A and B are shown apart, each in its own frame.
Chain A
Amino acid sequence: MENLKDTPLYDEHVRLGALMAPFGGWNMPIQYEGIIAEHKWCREKAALFDICHMGEFLYKGDIVGGGLEDVFTFSVKSIPVGRSRYGFLLNDEGGIIDDLIVFRLAEDEAMVVTNAATIDNDFAVIASRLSGRANFTDISAETAKLDLQGPLAREVMSRFFDPEPCNLPYFRSTKTTILGVEAIVSRTGYTGELGYEIFLPATRVKELWQLFLADERVKPAGLGARDVLRLEVGYSLYGSDIDEVTTPLEAGLEAFVNFDKEFVGKAALLHQQKAGLAKVKAAFRVGSRRSPRHHYEICTGDDTVGTVTSGVFSPMLGCGIGIGFVRPGSAPLGATLTIRHEKVNMEAEVVELPFYAGGSLRS
């Protein structure tokens, strides 16, 4: 196996008895107490996630003149300072190289936050599309990231920090001072709950981790709970649900594509709009506690129409839920599907996303 990287919090995870496993080239905590207990804690209190594995790039220079404006499926120049936007880095065929968030830190400064396994390739691709007149650096190694997510996250933040970062509205961010050092706090996350993503120097993250965990309203949560939380609210996981051979149109994510601007892959998407999609995303709810899983077949009658890309048991719904890709037209809303794998068969109904809409996300 490749050499796995450890986050600056590796010793903390081991001390807490975490089950560690490889994810995106990193040795990450999958669970501490248990996936369902951690999931519940995040939905009811505040859960703390080590997200130091994700990538951060810093761009300094004119957004248009340096070339950043045309890199992604969304406009960077139209993001007001202090806000962020979600979208895609595409290849020429319209396939998704990564899904990411760009934070507009200042008029001439932006931070790109990427997935972990894609850091090196993303950096190379983005750099190749820039004019060279801007300063573009990979700050992933020296930048740590903690996510504090849950309905009590704001109260916990307010105990420790200034009101400004604590009272940020959804998808707003700010440069602030935390533990005496410069940090970026953003009202974003991957759980469907009220929450914050905090970027700070890797040298200080252990201190912040311990500070939060000393509050009895906060418990650590691993990537296992994170996966259940994100699927309940219908978020895609890069590498499972979306990849270089899946376009945003096929993934039902065209809301994050701005056709009024230029970007690599636009011609391919426009062609796909005319020619028709090869596959489309479908979300489904299983009629039992059975869990669909990655690579299970999606069938209607005896016909295999697609493949599951993500599936879990949803503690909030008390049944299995999943998303996958199917032949266009084969799985309309309300249709009955059979999810198959070897001798396992489960009936499922095609539903709308999100599966769970009761979170504190926008509160």
Chain B
Amino acid sequence: MSETYFTKEHEWVRIDGSTATVGISEHAAHELGDITFIELPQTGKTVKQFDVLAGIESVKAASDIYAPVSGTVSAVNDGLNDAPEVVNESAEDAGWIAKLEGVDAAELSNLMTRAQYDEYLKSL
């Protein structure tokens, strides 16, 4: 499996060829508590790195999900419409939010590796 990269806003991204899979980190899911709603992006939507990509709500808070890399939304995890709790159960795998096409791996240099992210979490 390709390496996972993280943003300071707690999104993750994995790139496979020109496709990126995006979600929120386990840390973020835990901090949000019970997730009750995901505002999935429209397929075809084009975003720049760190633009708002999606929305997420929990019993405690509503927040934005930012695009870890630039690209065009090619797929969304429709299952989250009825079962957003999957993000609590499996934030970095089954709880993926969207896939982006046409991404540039060079943007990963603006993100953190898992080791760097773990260090970052300790600093919070």
Q: Tell me which residues across on chain B come within 8 A of A312, comparing CB atoms.
A: 59
Please choose the segment from A85-93, A164-172, A285-293 that sits at the chain B interface, where 4 or more of its residues have CB less than 8 A away.
Answer: A285-293
Question: In the complex, which residue of chain B has the Cβ closest to the Cβ of A225?
Answer: B59
**A35 x B84 contact (CB < 8 A):** no
**A290 x B37 contact (CB < 8 A):** yes
Among B39, B55, B59, the residue within 8 A (CB) of A313 is B59
Contact residues, B49-93 vs A (CB, 8 A): 55, 57, 59-60, 62, 84-85
Q: Tell me which residues across on chain B come within 8 A of A31, comparing CB atoms.
A: 33
Question: In the complex, which residue of chain A has the Cβ closest to the Cβ of B39?
Answer: A290
**A291 x B33 contact (CB < 8 A):** no
Task: Answer yes or no: A228 CB below 8 A from chain B CBs.
Answer: yes
Q: Tell me which residues across on chain A come within 8 A of B19, comparing CB atoms.
A: none
Q: Tell me which residues across on chain B come within 8 A of A341, comparing CB atoms.
A: 62
Q: Tell me which residues across on chain A come within 8 A of B57, comparing CB atoms.
A: 289-291, 313
What is the CB-to-nearest-CB distance from B90 to chain A, in angstroms, rounded to a whole number? 15
Among B37, B39, B59, B62, the residue within 8 A (CB) of A35 is B59
Contact residues, A221-263 vs B (CB, 8 A): 224, 228
Contact residues, A267-298 vs B (CB, 8 A): 288-291, 293
**B62 x A344 contact (CB < 8 A):** yes
A289 to B57, CA, bound (A): 9
A97 to B89, CA, bound (A): 43
A36 to B36, CA, bound (A): 10
Task: Answer yes or no: A34 CB below 8 A from chain B CBs.
Answer: yes
Given the interface pairs A34-B33, A291-B37, the reply to whether A224 lies near B59 with Cβ below 8 Å is: yes
A132 to B89, CA, bound (A): 60
Most buried by B among A228, A289, A344: A289
What is the CB-to-nearest-CB distance from B89 to chain A, in angstroms, rounded to a whole number? 11
Contact residues, A290-320 vs B (CB, 8 A): 290-291, 293, 312-313, 320
Given the interface pairs A224-B60, A291-B62, the reply to whether A35 lies near B55 with Cβ below 8 Å is: no
What is the CB-to-nearest-CB distance from B27 to chain A, in angstroms, rounded to a whole number? 15
Q: Tell me which residues across on chain A come within 8 A of B60, comparing CB atoms.
A: 35, 224
Q: Tell me which residues across on chain B come within 8 A of A320, comparing CB atoms.
A: 37
Q: Tell me which residues across on chain B come within 8 A of A313, comparing CB atoms.
A: 36-37, 57, 59
A254 to B60, CA, bound (A): 31
Contact residues, A309-337 vs B (CB, 8 A): 312-313, 320
Question: In the complex, which residue of chain A has the Cβ closest to the Cβ of B36?
Answer: A313
Q: Top 6 nearest A-B pairs by Cβ distance?
A: A313-B36, A289-B37, A36-B34, A35-B59, A290-B37, A35-B34
Q: Which residues of A contact B (CB under 8 A)?
A: 31, 34-37, 224, 228, 288-291, 293, 312-313, 320, 341, 344
26 A-B contacts (beta carbon < 8 Å) = A34-B34, A35-B33, A35-B34, A36-B36, A36-B59, A36-B85, A37-B34, A224-B33, A224-B59, A224-B60, A228-B59, A288-B37, A289-B36, A289-B37, A289-B57, A290-B37, A290-B39, A291-B37, A291-B59, A291-B62, A312-B59, A313-B36, A313-B37, A313-B57, A341-B62, A344-B62
Q: Which residues of B contact A (CB under 8 A)?
A: 33-34, 36-37, 39, 55, 57, 59-60, 62, 84-85
Q: A291-B57, A312-B59, A344-B62 are in contact. List 15 more A-B contacts (CB 8 A).
A: A31-B33, A34-B33, A34-B34, A35-B60, A36-B34, A36-B36, A36-B59, A288-B37, A289-B57, A290-B37, A313-B36, A313-B37, A313-B59, A341-B62, A344-B55
